[in-house]
Amino acid sequence: MGEVARRGIGVAGFDLDALGAVDPTMVARGKLLAGFAHGELGTTVGYAPKDFTRDPESKAGVDALIQEVHLANEVNRLRLAYRGDVAGTASDAEELVLARVRHTRGRGGRSDAIVTGGDVPGTEAWVVSQCWSAGLEQVYRIVRVCPDDGPGGDRCTVQSTEGDSSACAAGFRTLELPPSDANEPMADSEDPNGGVEIPDSTPEVGNDIADE
């Protein structure tokens, strides 16, 4: 407690399979492993979902690395992995989305995503990029169809566009894709804490309280 922000680093883990075995109201399954670091310039958080799904009856489990950098100057940089229906696909089938999201409060932001599965043919990967204004209104969107073994460059063809890339805020007009492998680490040049360590398994909880 107090008026001074706490700083530090740490790890955490949640075994939802074990929790669900003793609490039938817990629907989510898999494991959520996390590491965090909080310094004067900002916060870094990393997650490693292991066969995680919020509802195994409706969504397949996901193994991935997810990370966020939140800087004190209101700059946010996020890497995501999730299953969801992507706008523009033929049906409501869910695709696997690997996304890089950047946002600065008062300026707007951009996301660049690699989309596979669902309505995307098995030989393809879609690269979907979009920008939004400070008011969170979409100002630009482009969808490229690329080979599934490595999106990028002249190997891709433009499927559709909305708006113009010049409407993207300064600093958000260039493509910045996440790795095409959801489990591959991704360095962030703006991370003020040098990354975080994510545990390989649920950490043991010890009792470090000294006897009175």
Over residues 199-205, mean pLDDT: 82
Q: Give pLDDT, residue 4.
A: 62
Over residues 27-43, mean pLDDT: 93
Instruction: Look at residue 135 and tell me whether its pLDDT is greater than 90.
Output: yes
Give me the residue spans of the domains in the chain.
8-167
Concatenated DSSP letters for 148-183?
Answer: TT---GGG-EEEEEEE-GGGSPTT-SS--PPPSSTT
Read off the pLDDT of residues 84-97 as tens digits, 9 standing for 90 and up: 899 889 999 999 99
Summary mean pLDDT of the chain: 89
Cα 98 to Cα 37, 119, 160, distances in angstroms: 23, 15, 19
Instruction: Look at residue 210 and tell me whether its pLDDT is greater than 70.
Output: no
At residue 72, φ and ψ (nearest 5 deg) are -65, -20
Smallest Cα–Cα separation from 96: which of 113, 110, 77, 108? 113
Instruction: Look at residue 154 and tell me whether its pLDDT is greater than 80.
Output: no
Q: Coil, strand, or helix at residue 6? A: coil
What predicted TM-score, i.e. pTM, was given to this entire model? 0.80
Over residues 195-201, mean pLDDT: 88
